[in-house]
Structure 1
Amino acid sequence: MAKINQRKLDHINIVSDDAAIDRNKFYFDRIHLTHRALPELNMAEIDPAVTFLGRKLSFPLLISSMTGGKDEELVKINRNLAVAAEAEGVALAVGSQRVFLSDRAARESFALREYAPTVPLLGNLGAVQLNYNVGFADCEAAVQVLDADGLYLHLNPLQEAVQPEGDTDFSDLRNKIATVVQQLKIPVVIKEVGAGISAQDVEHLLAAGVKYIDVAGSGGTSWSMVESRRSENPALGELFGDWGIPTPVALKMMKPFRHEMNVIASGGIRSGIDMAKSIILGASMCGLARPFLDPARESADAVRQVIQRLKREFVTAMFLLGTGRVENLKGKEELILNENWN
């Protein structure tokens, strides 16, 4: 598993050092909201708190999956994220735990509950690995090491297709996902990694019993571009660098299914305004990863500063929309003034 650990180090270094990896599409900027000059609110009394996976959060932020492994740098990143998440009352999802399954030396980077005892923690495995000898016992092990409240099974066909050592047998995954959903005692969250989830995908996932979906659309970090930097033939990954469904569009696709599932928005969210727009489009939570990577390599306090900035921006947006509670913001598309997708 040394190759997997090295790949994780490669990934964070590429994402951190190569500005072109973050596509900065700013798709949310095409959505304009209705400003309230008379909000009829005391901003100091706005309550942005939500409940996620049975735990109360200060506002609907999820620090999305980044990394994990036995290298000291990877351990440091995850600990800093966990300490900051606990201090600020937000959720945290770890990066893929596949490395831990075959190299228990990576356990330390995923044993985070002591650093984040009260906030939701999510484990993470690639769904495609269910076709490559990862079974239910492995899913349980990933959950147990983290004492997780939920388990991400991520879908990344584009990344695997352009990755030099990619696993591309995605056949019959719906049935295997259904088995994990039925047997695992905590929620399974299906997540893309930057190319979005379509309505047709959701129909299959609902049939498999899935109740939580992270659309993880395009617009932010491109894992196709990341893998292009690791390939001797980068042209394929670069060609598909902007492939996928933009996150706001993916959220709109979820509208017919909102009463049946919890939707998490991620992919190119970079501000509290983007978070507010995501909630208006029906999301229950908003995930960000790239904005936390460099701060996490520095300290937990640096991560906290980013969280605090996002919360200030989110609360300010709520105030200017005349909305004092998140539940009064969710799905309120009448707050959208106009959209420009030309």
Structure 2
Amino acid sequence: MISDRKLEHLKICKDYDVEHTKTTGLEDITLIHRALPEVNYDEIDTSIELLGKKIDSPLIISAITGGHPESTKINSNLAEAVENTHIAMGVGSQRAGIENEELKETFTTVRDKAPEAYIIGNIGAPQVEYAYDAIEMLKTDALAIHLNPLQEIIQPEGDTNAQGYIDDIKEICENTNTPIIAKETGAGICGEDAKILEKIGVNAIDVQGVGGTSWAAVETYRADDASLGNLFWNWGITTAVSTVDVCENTNIPVISSGGIRNGLEAAKAIALGASCVGMALPFLKHSYLGHTYIENKIEQFTQELKTAMFLVGASNIEELKQKRLIITGKTREILEQMNIDTKKYTRRI
């Protein structure tokens, strides 16, 4: 059953090592320190406009859960926290709540607890026919269509027919006024796919690259034979490379996610061109403890982000996106192999 699978996913993510052993690549990004920042820390503005709605921070609590009774409390705590801090959050795949009325509350609790917050719905590319129900269920501000071919191929009950995704996503984009976000689930998105997604009408792209939770790893713990999952544990494009590649090839907002763990890494991702960032696993760890613990984590993130902004002389997020940085190491090697000029980030004035 889908509900049982969702509970297994929660417990595995909470209790086991499910992160990539390959890093995000953000360690190869160095922001240029300013000894004369000419910025008042107390006046730094971290707010952004995300697809038509203002939020107080470029932080999204990425999709974590839904679809099992145990996830109701988690989603309630997360929702109360984002309502109180005026940030955005996504829910896990709503398929279970659409197919089973008894599980609907595991999702609707989010809108009940966060009537004014920016809520991102979620449905998988193989089930895009549920998109309209997903939007209606939560009166979503945006809908994420998640792309997870790696997870599907490792998952014992996975859907391995990926034909028709492009046409199906295009149809949703053409027939709803709700912004559509295409998101990966831990393997990254390349510039080639980003171009296709923008062309068919997607409004934003969440890269969710390698460096955080590996869903191949999660499914490895569930599989009878772990060999395939172990082999592909680190498959994909790092978050840093994916962020740059998608930003270079599209003109729509880019959400950088996948292993981002603090405000400094978020500042690096935004300086690379992202409009905002997503974090999931760190909030899952706090979600069992109550909304105040989540709010404390959000406040810590904001302090870290503002400190980085202060030290590079950025008074708002748009200024941060233009600040100089240096790309070194494997990330530089990969980007240059992709004919991306890494020096232009250093030459910014």
Aligned equivalents of 2:79, 2:185: Cα separation in 1: 21
Aligned match for 1:178, one of 167, 170, 176: 170
Secondary structure at 1:48 match in 2: coil
- Residue 198 of structure 1: aligned partner: 190
Secondary structure at 2:235 match in 1: coil
Is the 8 Å Cα contact of residues 218 and 246 (structure 1) preserved in structure 2?
yes
Deviation by residue 1:5-52 (Cα, 9 ceiling, x = unmatched): 111110011011112435472521111110111111111111111111
The residue type equivalent to 1:106 in the other structure is L
- Residue 247 of structure 1: aligned partner: 239
Q: 1:6 to 1:278 in 2, by over 3 A?
A: same
Aligned match for 1:292, one of 279, 283, 288: 283
- Please report the RMSD computed on the Cα atoms of aligned residues, expressed in angstroms: 1.4
Structure 2: unaligned runs, 5 residues or longer: 334-349
Question: Are 2:139 and 1:147 aligned?
Answer: yes
Question: Are 2:264 and 1:273 aligned?
Answer: yes
- Residue 337 of structure 1: aligned partner: 326
The residue type equivalent to 1:184 in the other structure is T
Is the 8 Å Cα contact of residues 192 and 215 (structure 1) preserved in structure 2?
yes
Q: 1:30-41 maps to which residues of 2 (within 5 A)?
A: 30-41=28-39
User: What count of residue pairs does the alignment treat as equivalent?
Assistant: 330
Moved more, 159-168 or 25-34: 25-34
Is the 8 Å Cα contact of residues 283 and 294 (structure 2) preserved in structure 1?
yes
Normalized against structure 2, the TM-score is what? 0.92
Aligned match for 1:319, one of 298, 302, 310: 310
Structure 1: unaligned runs, 5 residues or longer: none
Structure 1 residue runs of 4+, over 4 Å off?
none
Secondary structure at 1:21 match in 2: coil
Normalized against structure 1, the TM-score is what? 0.93
Secondary structure at 1:269 match in 2: coil
Secondary structure at 1:56 match in 2: strand
Aligned equivalents of 2:2, 2:139: Cα separation in 1: 23
Q: 1:211-230 maps to which residues of 2 (within 5 A)?
A: 211-230=203-222
Secondary structure at 1:229 match in 2: helix
- Residue 111 of structure 2: aligned partner: 113
- Residue 124 of structure 1: aligned partner: 122
Aligned equivalents of 1:313, 1:281: Cα separation in 2: 17
Is the 8 Å Cα contact of residues 24 and 238 (structure 2) preserved in structure 1?
no
For residue 70 of structure 1, report the CA deviation from its aligned partner.
3.7
Deviation by residue 1:145-179 (Cα, 9 ceiling, x = unmatched): 11101111000000000000000111021011100
Determine what percentage of the aligned residue pairs are the same residue: 41
